[in-house]
Structure 1
Amino acid sequence: MSYQALYRVWRPQSFSDVIGQEHVTKTLQNALLQEKISHAYLFSGPRGTGKTSAAKIMAKAVNCEKMPVSEPCNKCPACLGITDGSVPDVIEIDAASNNGVEEIRDIRDKVKYTPNAVKYKVYIIDEVHMLTIGAFNALLKTLEEPPQHVIFILATTEPHKIPLTIISRCQRFDFKRITSQDIARRMAHIANETSLEYDEKALQIIARAAEGGMRDALSLLDQAISFSTGRVTVEDALTVTGSISQNSLYRLARAVHEKDTPGALGTLEELLMQGKDPARLIEDFILYYRDLLLYKTAPHLDEMAEHALLDEEFKSLGEEIQAQQIYDYIDILSKTQQDMRFSNHARMYVELCLVKLCQLEKGRTPADQSQLQQLIKKVEELEKEVKWLKSHGPQAAEGAQGTPAKPSKRPLRSSGKEYRVPAGAVTQVLKEATRQQLNEVKSHWGDFLNILNQRQMRSQAALLNDAEPAAASAHAVVIKFKYDIHCRMAMENHSFIQTISQILEELLGSTLKVIGVPEVQWKEIREDFLQNNQHDGDGEKEEEDPLVSEALKLVGKDLIEFKN
């Protein structure tokens, strides 16, 4: 074949030809001049950014007859031989097709042999992340301590797939995406050298479509040259790249801004008749608004524009439109882009999207902002009330309506009218109470609380957290509450009392009447009962308990306090 693609003809032959990677080339040049050459390098970065080209330039530089130099001379037999591939000591390996253990073992076996034609034997392993784990392990020791005459240069687009043990043995250089301005300048240089006629905007369109890759840009330029008739025009560049012209995007954006639905749909119809892809249209429209937003917020960052050219029309629209509108537009366009992926009616989605953009209200007015601030303030107040209620429990019910009650400085007690229990009913239970009945209820109390929680009655069960059975007979149980308010809330909830009775019946096998009593009142009722009936708190007579009888004999009745 007599014709070669542009990216092959204009492949960099020196570090100065590597565009947009000065942070890499400068470091390598300094190392060459100082003869501080490492045994292994790792070049990582996106496709088409110069990794393999830099590796070959490095191989020429270390083997150049004029070494030490910052650039290969490209005139000596070593440089010329490496360029045309006739030097056997510079070995390029594609790891995508040679990724097995046997291929790496072959390298390991041959690496000990000295080079034939040049000073250094250089192994360039492209797409090294494609190697298997076994191949990486086989390469590990050789890569760490190769012979003095061997240099490894690894290139990859996915460094995260390389084991850290390999990365730690290499000097790593990260190649970055090349800016659109650098790509356009390089293409202009190539076009001038080849006497190619072109429109400057056409090169900028191709540069933006390349997405940071020089090789992709030269391939698109090659395609545009073949499509054109002697001069690469903007229309040629748009056709080759499939991009939407900035003029069309501006007309769409202007129609959306002015709420001109017929104008927007008319522009869309023209683009679709030209064969433009609806998905590409949405993508370009998002990038256009992205550039518009960047220009509006940071107008001095011209190089950040991915799609738009900063002409007068673009700048005037950027001054008129509000940032909030751009946010809303991008949200709608992004949602449309997602929906289009799962539908065969792409055109319909684009039409609906444009109608929605044209009907969208303009940015929030100051009144809307004021209402939003009021809502935020109200939510913060409600959050404070909820937090206070959680920390103070049911006592908050006694506070004033609309604001939480201020916490009392005294210990938590009933903040309302004191709850009075039926003293006669409690006394009757004490007369019939036995220790065996009370112990049986206490033994099932934990199971009782678990059942309440399982039945989604956590708020009611919380009332019983500080409560415990105090006395029990065959027909009733007295539950002692620490706080008066808890006792009142529990006893006044008849459905809750019925639930307690049902659960206790399930656990104990007998129906028990539930009587609640605050701790303070329980002490009073119990003391009165003991004085009148000479019983202890669980209903047993004192003389029936030998320990109590013996204690009465030893110290006397006045010095004894009865407790459950």
Structure 2
Amino acid sequence: MAYQALYRVWRPQTFIDVVGQEHVTKTLQNALLQQKISHAYLFSGPRGTGKTSAAKILAKAINCERSPVSEPCNECAACLGITNGTIPDVLEFDAASNSRVEEMRDVLDKVKFAPTSVNYKVYIIDEVHMLSISAFNALLKTLEEPPKHVIFILATTEPHKIPLTIISRCQRFDFRRITAGSIVNRMKLIVEETGIDCDDRALQMIARAAEGGMRDALSLLDQAISYSQDRVTVEDALTVTGSVSQGFLNKLALAFQEGDVASGLEALDELLFHGKDPTRFIEDLILFYRDMLLYKTAPNLEESLERVMLDDEFRQMAEITPTGQIYQLIDLLNKTQQEMRWTNHPRVFLEVAIVKLCQREGKQLDQAESPQLNQLLSRIEQLESELQHLKANGVAPAVQEAAQQPQKPAPRTSKKAFQPAVGKINEVLKQATKSDLNLIKTNWAEMRAGLLKSQAALLNDAEPIAASADAFIIKFKHDMICQMAMNRSDFLEAVIAAINKLTGKRFLVLGVPEDQWLPIREEFLNSQHGEDGENSGTTKEEEPHITEAKKLFGEEFVEIVD
């Protein structure tokens, strides 16, 4: 074929031609000049960002007859041979179509032989993540300790699929998505060199549709050139990329603003009639309102706009669209986009979304609330004027007393937000048994599962700590959560009913915060010891094992800890 695609003709031949990857090319150039070449490299990143091109340039620079150099000369026999693919010592291996271990072994069997035409054998393995596990294992040992004359360059778009044992033996370089501005500058250079007449706005449309890939951008440019007549226009770029024109988006945004459902649906029918993709359309619409939001909040960041051109029609539409409505529009469009991914009828969801956007309630709410808002603002101004008057003339003594009076009980109320029922808790502790507590703990998880989510959330950091035959105590980690739980009658009834259903008993529920539980328990134990002493006097009978310990070790060496 006489004609070659643009991305093949304009494939980078030097590091300076690799657009948007300066962090990679500068490192490789310094390594070439200092002759610190690694035995294995891993180039990872999105498609069309220059991984394979950088690998071939590195292979030429290593074997260039003028080395050490930072750029290949592309004039010597080695550089020309590697560019043309006539030097067998530089092998480009496609792992996607040669993923089996047998094919990998055929390649590795030739590694031990010295190069015949150049100084280094270079193996460029593209899409290396497609290799099988057996093929990776075959590559592993050779990759770790290859001969001095062999260099491996692995390229992949999915580095997470490569075993860590392979990655750890390589110098890794991550290629980034190329910015739209860099892609536009590269395409401008190409159209100027080839003499093609092209609109700058068309190049920007193509660059944004490429999503950071130079190869995709050049393929779209190639397609737009073939589609156009004498000049590549914005309409040509919109046609080949499947995007929607900004004039159409402005027209649809006006229908949303005016609540004109008929105009919105007619515009959608026209769009689909011309073969536009509904998924691509809703993405363009989301980016349109995203750019409008950025323009309204940060008008100086014009370079951050991804979809729109700042024409007069767009500026006028941005002025009449409130920021709150833009939030609503983006939220609804985002939900519609998610629903369209899982349906066979995306047009239906798109039509429903347009009707909702034209009949949204946010516009009516703004109009209804505006009188109330004005009334509230006027009232605030009136109170501010009265306050200034009081400050100027002094405050009456009655007002001062009224203002100072509620300040006295403030420390008492803020000291402890929740007061547990200590008397009831002590009664439960007196009658508490381990079997009753185990009964509650056994059914605790099942009881929580039967509650509403809002009720079960109150028990996230809570646990039963004591139980009697007719009541149990719940310990809460936070004082505020304990207060919320104990003040909600629906929560208490739900817990009592759930426990009753599981155990057949109706328990009383008591709550206590964690920081108050220990003092209450300690006070209860002290009171119980005092009562035992009063009831039994000084002749309290010791337990048998304590008496035996005193006999064995002596009473002065035995300490009794409760």
Whether 1:47 and 2:51 are equivalent positions in the alignment is no
Q: Aligned pair in 2 of structure 1 residues 298, 150: CA closer, same or farther (>3 Å)?
A: farther
1:356 maps to: 356
Matches within 5 A, 1:115-154: 115-154=115-154
Q: Which amino acid aligns with 1:77?
A: A
Alignment match, 2:230: 230
SS in 1 for 2:109: helix
What residue in structure 2 maps to residue 32 of structure 1? Answer: 32
Partner of 1:195: 195
CA contact (8 A) 2:125 2:155 kept: yes
Q: TM-score, normalised by structure 2?
A: 0.68
- 1:17-416 matched pairs, under 5 angstroms: 17-360=17-360, 361-362=362-363, 413-414=422-423
- C-alpha root-mean-square deviation of aligned residues, in Å? 4.4
- What's the TM-score, normalizing by structure 1? 0.68
Give the secondary structure class of the aligned counterpart of 1:198: coil
Residue pair 1:32, 1:68 contacting (<8 A) in 2 also: yes
One-letter code aligned to 2:40:
A
> Match of 1:24, SS?
helix
- Equivalent pairs: percent with the same residue? 60
Larger Rg: 1
Is this contact kept in 1: 2:437–2:467, CA < 8 A?
no
Q: Distance in 2 between matches of 1:68 and 1:36?
A: 10
Quickly say closer, same or farther: Cα 1:519–1:503, change in 2 above 3 A: farther
Q: What is the DSSP-based 3-state SS (H/G/I as helix, E as strand, rest coil) of the residue aligned with 1:42?
A: strand
After TM superposition, give the deviation of residue 313 of structure 1 in Å: 3.1
Q: Write the deviation string for residues 132-181 of structure 1: whole angstroms up to 9, x where unpaired.
A: 22222221222122111111111000111112221122111111111112
For structure 1, the 5+ residue unaligned runs are 372-402, 420-437, 470-477, 482-492, 505-517, 531-536, 548-564
**Cα 1:319–1:34, aligned 2, differ >3 Å: closer, same or farther?**
farther
SS at match of 1:287: helix
**Structure 1 match to 2:391:** none
SS of equivalent residue, structure 1 residue 41:
strand
CA contact (8 A) 2:437 2:468 kept: no
Shift of residue 342 of structure 1?
Answer: 4.0
How do 1:468-507 and structure 2 match up within 5 A?
none
Does the CA contact (< 8 Å) of 1:448 and 1:503 recur in 2? no
The answer for the alignment partner of 1:374 in structure 2 is none
d(CA) in 2 for partners of 1:519, 1:271: 80
How many residues are aligned here? 441
Q: Which amino acid aligns with 1:24?
A: V
- What is the identity, as a one-letter code, of the residue corresponding to 2:224? A
Q: What is the DSSP-based 3-state SS (H/G/I as helix, E as strand, rest coil) of the residue aligned with 1:26?
A: helix
Q: Contact 2:433–2:467 (CA<8 Å) still a contact in 1?
A: no
Q: Does the 8 Å CA contact 1:39/1:150 hold for their aligned counterparts?
A: yes
Q: Structure 1 residues 468, 4: CA separation in 2 closer, same or farther (over 3 Å shift)?
A: closer
Q: How many angstroms does 1:526 deviate by?
A: 12
- For the residue of structure 2 that corresponds to 1:324, the secondary structure is helix
**Which digits, 9 at most, give the CA deviation of each residue in 1:327-358, with x for residues without a partner?**
22111112222223344443332222122112
**CA–CA separation in structure 1 for the residues paired with 2:307 and 2:418:** 67
Shift of 1:270: 2.6
- For residues 495-531 of structure 1, the C-alpha deviation after alignment (integer angstroms, 9 at most, x for no partner) is 99xx9xx979xxxxxxxxxxxxx9999999999999x
Q: Is the 8 A contact 2:436 2:467 kept in 1?
A: no
When residues 176 and 465 of structure 1 are mapped into structure 2, their CA distance, relative to the original with a 3 A threshold, is: closer
Q: What SS does the aligned partner of 1:231 have?
A: coil
2:512 corresponds to = none
The 3 A distance-change label for structure 1 pair 445 and 72 is closer
In structure 2, the partner of 1:486 is none
Gaps of 5+ in 2: 377-411, 456-461, 474-492, 506-523, 545-562
Whichever residue aligns with residue 329 of structure 1, its letter is L
Q: Distance in 2 between matches of 1:153 and 1:206?
A: 31
Equivalents in 2 of 1:202, 1:111: separation in Å?
Answer: 48
Map Cα deviations across residues 92-141 of structure 1 (whole Å, 9 max, x no partner): 00011122222232333211211100111100000111112222222122
Q: CA deviation at 1:204?
A: 1.3
**CA deviation profile, 1:504-560 (whole Å, cap 9, x unmatched):** 9xxxxxxxxxxxxx9999999999999xxxxxx9xxxx9xxxx9xxxxxxxxxxxxx
Q: Which moved more, 1:120-129 or 1:444-453?
A: 444-453
**Residues 90 and 122, structure 1, Cα contact 8 Å, conserved in 2:** yes
In structure 2, C-alpha distance between the alignment counterparts of 1:32 and 1:290, rounded to whole Å: 44
Bigger mean CA deviation after superposition, 302-311 or 233-242: 302-311
Deviations 1:219-263 (A, max 9, x none): 111111221223212111111111101111122123323434333
AA in 1 matched with 2:201: K
